[in-house]
A = this chain, B = another copy of it.
Amino acid sequence: MTEFSNRQYFLASRPEGMPTTEHVQCRDVPLGEPAEGQVIIRNLYISLDPAIRGWMSDAPNYIEPIAIGDAVRSSVLGRVVSSNHPDFEVGDVGMAMGAWEQYTTLPGEALNKLDENLGIPLSLFLGVLGPTGLTAYFGLLEVGQPKAGETVLVSAAAGAVGSVVGQIAKMQGCRVVGMAGSDDKCDWLTGELGFDAAINYKTCGDYQAAIRQACPGGVDVYFDNVGGEILDATLTCLNKYARVAVCGWISTYNAAEIPRLDNLWQVVAESLTIRGFTVLDYLDRFEEGVTQLAEWMMAGKIKYREDIVDGLDNVLPTFLRLFDGSNAGKLVLRLPE
């Protein structure tokens, strides 16, 4: 095998606020041969998700932090270019936890083979049919436990996870209200995805008043992607026995300290449940989730948006768009085949 070079973006130091080119740097390393049981994939798509910012920090997290000097961890989808594992042949396509790099070398067991012949665009396996769709599915149904007639509030509702959460909640017979960062996004939620109302959190002013107005019967399930001030305001709008499904706190990832929650006392006052989760908690039910999501998608019951950006060298500025909300839908980086 010819000696290939592998371009990587690696963690040079831990960011305190937004990661910059000081923290995430580029290098080209030689690509070796796969060891016994390993395969090498050429990455076709790299998934850019808010959680990655958490892994750059060494604060306690649900998986190990990215080690200094390691390529930045990310879900990837790629094509096998070299295999030393009996289950994989060159040309197979699979998904794995990889990194911001051209090629990922990994044990065959860590690669989930995908069927290219289903007529499903491959990138969707990183989005609506992948970790983000599954996060929405299990987070809403298992953690949020919405019942017909209840009101579900979703923050970052136009995002990859939130948009799916809202559509599943509608299918459960709930009133669904989304919060998003532009009028365009809000229009998409109510006009195309069937949300009952949407709040532009950048222009609404008083969060509490806006939530109360959009949720006159109070909130029974809050699917929380953002944390911080919006969570604090929502706490005062929750009904007795309401559930807060904590998917992540994107508003705090680049903050020096977690903001105070002045209204946490509501936990006792209203017998609230605040429950964190990650999609990995439901690993043994992924097949059920993907099957259901694919069925809904094929039936047109789940619509989605992808925001696909070309070129590995755009990875860092593209990633940062997650934090100013300028992405529209699931953010994916595409690499040439």
Binding site for B on A (CB under 8 A): 54, 59-62, 236, 241, 246-249, 252, 257-258, 260-262, 264-278, 281
Q: How far is the CA of A157 from the CA of B260 in the complex (A)?
A: 27
The answer on a CB contact under 8 Å between B271 and A273 is: no
Residue on B with the closest CB to A235? Answer: B60
The answer on a CB contact under 8 Å between B273 and A62 is: no
Main secondary structure of the interface of A (DSSP, over half): loop
Chain B residues, Cβ within 8 Å of A62: 268-271
How many copies of this kind of chain does the complex include? 2
The answer on a CB contact under 8 Å between A266 and B60 is: yes
A236 contacts which of B60, B248, B277 (Cβ < 8 Å)? B60
Q: How far is the CA of A128 from the CA of B262 in the complex (A)?
A: 33
Residue on B with the closest CB to A260? Answer: B260
Q: How far is the CA of A38 from the CA of B258 in the complex (A)?
A: 52
Closest 6 CB pairs of A and B: A267-B276, A268-B276, A273-B275, A274-B274, A60-B269, A61-B269
The answer on a CB contact under 8 Å between B281 and A268 is: no
Chain B residues, Cβ within 8 Å of A252: 265
The answer on a CB contact under 8 Å between A246 and B268 is: yes
Known: A61-B269, A273-B273. 16 other contacts (CB 8 A): A60-B265, A60-B266, A60-B270, A241-B281, A247-B268, A248-B268, A249-B268, A258-B261, A258-B262, A266-B276, A270-B276, A271-B275, A271-B281, A273-B276, A274-B274, A274-B275
* Residue among A241, A268, A275 with most chain B CB within 10 A: A268
A258 contacts which of B247, B264, B275 (Cβ < 8 Å)? B264
Chain B residues, Cβ within 8 Å of A249: 265, 268
A274 contacts which of B257, B262, B267 (Cβ < 8 Å)? B267
Contact A246 B267, CB 8 Å, known A60-B236, A236-B60, A258-B260: yes
Q: How far is the CA of A262 from the CA of B260 in the complex (A)?
A: 8
The answer on a CB contact under 8 Å between B271 and A277 is: yes
